[in-house]
Amino acid sequence: MPTFTITGDIDPFLHVSLRRGEVIFCESDAMVMMEDALDLTSSVQGGILQAVARRLANGESFFQQRIEAKRGDGDCLLSPGTPGSIQILDLGPSQYCLSDSAYVAATAEVQITARMQNIGTALFGGTGGFLIGQTSGVGQVAVSGFGSLFMIDAHPDKDTIIDNGHVVAWDNTLRYEVGTATSKGRNLLGNLVNSATSGEGLILRFRGNGKILLCSRNQRTFFAQTKGG
């Protein structure tokens, strides 16, 4: 299997070492450098319908980059589109849902498919609309988030409440719903007004047993400013 290594402290690279015949897939324009033994081609992984679904789910490009070690062993450097850290997730017993623009690269045995959200979470959750990305298969996937990354454990005996702009990826067995960070005793309008004036906005309330990957900077604010500029 290709070897994923994070290289650098600030806005790091994803360093990938491939042996002859090995393949990885990565987000469009992620490749920064590669050795001559490697070939880069465009790919519609999973077919046209899956490519469209991934585009709607988490902002991936319709075409992915496919990097193959054709003429021998070789290394490449990849870079995410978002300034910030990279995390390598091991897939197999655990699978993850991915928020907008989190995906960087994956080993060939990993698929990124689309998963439907409920209407409330899709409209207000900020995690990718009605469709979100979901991993399947055995291997590794590299994801990125704005700022530093931190993995936390959710527990079934208590809710884990996170500002929705800071969620990068989460265990797909976790249940979640959109809400506000204010007291449950307030009515809906009061909660929304209080959340807006407090600067917190909406939150995601996770329940169950699994891991959640967070970023230190608010990705919703970053992408809104980028699109606005």
pLDDT tens for the chain, residues 1 to 229: 999 999 998 899 999 999 999 999 998 889 999 999 999 998 765 544 455 554 544 445 546 899 999 999 999 999 998 889 999 999 999 999 998 789 999 999 998 887 665 544 443 444 444 457 889 999 999 999 999 999 999 999 999 999 888 999 999 999 988 776 555 555 554 554 454 444 445 788 899 999 999 999 887 665 555 555 5
Nearest to residue 50, comparing CAs of 102, 137, 103, 113? 113
CA–CA separation, 128 vs 119, rounded Å? 12
DSSP secondary structure code for residue 138 in this structure: S
Retrieve residue 197's tokens: 């004036």
HSE toward the beta carbon, residue 108, CA cutoff 13 A: 13
0.85 surpassed by pTM: no
Task: List domains and CATH numbers for the chain.
Answer: 3-228 (3.60.160.10)
